[in-house]
Amino acid sequence: MKITACDLDKQTPAKTYTITAEGESPVELDLCGEHSAPIEELIGRARAAREGADQAAEEPGPAPVPKRGPARRAAAKKATARKAAPAKRTATKAAARAPKIMTLEEIEAQKRNKG
């Protein structure tokens, strides 16, 4: 016969508890009487609570948190993300395109040069 020893202190006899948290793989615990006590207690309390029988077991339970507390306003996001925006270059091309004022003579001269 296989003797189960406590995982924690190697005491015998020990019971094997398989605990499965929802969504997790089961964990097997070998626990002696001392170390299984908390689990036994939990089981007992849970059963009692489900049956609604043992109301004597006082459960402090989490105190309800009043929602009236000073509402923490999310600190306004500081506009620290200053992207070094490239300075807008004055359109020099436009200036180049600007119509050049030429005299009639100059225009005629250009025409002649172009042949």
- For the beta carbon of residue 109, count every other beta carbon within 10 angstroms: 12
Nearer to Zn ion, 9 or 40 (CB): 9
Query: Which stretch, 1-9, 19-27, 83-91, 101-109, contacts Zn ion (CB under 5 A)?
Result: 1-9
User: Using CB under 5 A, which residues numbered 26 to 45 contact Zn ion?
Assistant: 32, 35
Kindly list the distances between the CA atom of residue 67 and the CA atoms of 18, 46, 56, 64, 70, in Å, as whole numbers in the listed order: 39, 29, 30, 9, 8
Question: How many angstroms separate the CA atoms of 110 and 103, rounded?
Answer: 11
User: How far apart are CB 16 and Zn ion at their closest, in Å?
Assistant: 12
Task: Give contact residues for Zn ion (rule: CB under 5 A).
Answer: 6, 8-9, 11, 32, 35
